[in-house]
Amino acid sequence: MAQQRVGEIKKFYSDLIGYVVINVILFIIDFLTSPGEWWFYWVALIWGVLIIGHAVRVFAFGGISSKKWEENKIKEIMDKEIEEYNEYIVNLFHKPKNWGKPPENEISVSQSIRLFLLFGYLIKNRDFFKNIESF
């Protein structure tokens, strides 16, 4: 990881040196061949924009392309999904605010799902029934 980052920085500086050297050579050629008509600045301008983009990618957003950033982002998304799932499960077993009186002799789908999950949990954890007598 550190070697890759150093390699990216080294590549940027070698590109920057190449940019400066080539543009100085182009300026000299332009000055000697056609002093009244400047064309070298077009190359310097376009290549300069690309060099700036390279610098931004390496120094400002260098961490985004790294493997560590990718692993951290995956962990962040997974933690968020787990938190949402846990919140859903907790809310599933809490009495909703709008329950009030159930309709006559009917049970809603959400109530039946809650009961199904509750009974499944109780059956899976049979020790719960053993501890009831201690209340």
The structure tokens listed for 110 are 């959400």
In angstroms, rounded to a whole number, what is the distance separating the alpha carbons of residues 43 and 29? 13
pLDDT of residue 46: 94
Torsion-angle region of 39 (φ positive above 0: left; ψ -120 to 50: alpha; else: beta): alpha
User: What is the domain partition of the chain in residue ranges?
Assistant: 2-62, 95-134
What local confidence, expressed as pLDDT, does residue 135 receive?
A: 46
Question: What letter would DSSP give residue 126?
Answer: T
**Each residue's pLDDT tens digit in the chain (135 positions)?**
567 778 888 998 999 999 999 999 999 999 888 877 888 889 999 999 999 999 988 887 765 556 676 777 788 888 888 888 777 777 766 655 555 555 555 566 666 777 777 777 777 766 655 655 554
Residue 17 to residue 37: CA distance in whole angstroms: 26
Question: 12: closest CA among 57, 44, 46?
Answer: 57
pTM of the shown model = 0.47
* DSSP annotation string for 33-82: H-TTS--HHHHHHHHHHHHHHHHIIIIISTTTTSHHHHHHHHHHHHHHHH
In the prediction, which pLDDT does 97 show?
A: 55
